[in-house]
Amino acid sequence: MMKYYKDTNSDVYAYDDEQLAQVTRLTEVESLLQEKEPNFIEASQGVEQAVLGLNNAKAQLDIAIGNTPIEGEETDIDNHEEVQRLTLVVEAKTAKLNEATIAFNQIEAEYQPLKDEFDAILPVFFEIRENLKVMKKMSTKEVDAYLNPPVSRDQLIAEAEQQKQSLLAEANNAIAPLQDAVELGMATEDEAAALQEWKKYRVLLNRVDISMAPDIDWPEKP
């Protein structure tokens, strides 16, 4: 079903229920994205920071391991303890990354489908939404007047002229054979009477004032 709207210039726009439903859904999705996007960004940054923290911890651990004496050399107790400490740090950073990833995946599962849906919405629906902001919905009476505009006076006169010429042509076609019969002395009484009726009818047709359309009292056909 179509809905009709009019802008400030009185230009009329029509949208069907499916288009209007899509515009409504566009606004809903946009609102949901605005609600969920901060959490999505925060979760994404949390993963990035966790990855950076883990990589830094691994780099420090690699350095400490590189400084650890090989078997047979004198053991540096402090360095050994540093390796153990950094190993625990890496494990903690790994656990933190896992937690951040799980949290991000949960938020992404809600956010990404909405983002994909939003990105797939055609530009025309954004245009329709903007149009609706500055347009007024037409009343039933206005829609009826728009869909069934009154016939102009010029059109009424043109239609009356067309009807007049059509009726005159019909009268001429009826008169011609009757006239031939009368002129040849072959007409019956009924044919002679019919000729007179058709001629009177033609005279009355010629007197019809088409400028009075649509209020014309057309003569009765014989």
pLDDT digits (tens, 9 = 90+) for 169-209: 999 999 999 999 999 999 999 999 999 999 999 999 999 99
- 0.75 exceeded by pTM: no
| Residue range 41-95, pLDDT digits in tens | 999 999 999 999 999 999 999 998 887 665 544 555 556 788 899 999 999 999 9
Is the pLDDT higher at 28 or at 83?
28
CB distance 43 to 103 below 8 Å:
yes
Q: Is the pLDDT of residue 144 over 80?
A: yes
**Strand duo 136-137 + 12-16: pairing:** unpaired
What percent of the chain has pLDDT above 70? 95
Q: Which long-range contacts (CB under 8 A, 24 or more apart) does 94-99 make?
A: 94/54, 96/50, 96/53, 96/54, 97/47, 97/50, 97/51, 97/53, 97/54, 99/50
User: Rounded distance, CA 80 to CA 63, Å?
Assistant: 12
Residue 148 in this model has a pLDDT that exceeds 60: yes
Average pLDDT taken over every residue of the chain: 92
pLDDT of residue 116: 97
Beta bridge partners of 5: 13, 137
Using CA atoms, how far apart are residues 23 and 75, in angstroms rounded to an integer?
Answer: 72
Backbone angles phi, psi at 8, to 5 degrees: -65, -20
pLDDT band at 124 (very low <50, low <70, confident <90, very high): very high
Residues 11-21 have a mean pLDDT of: 95
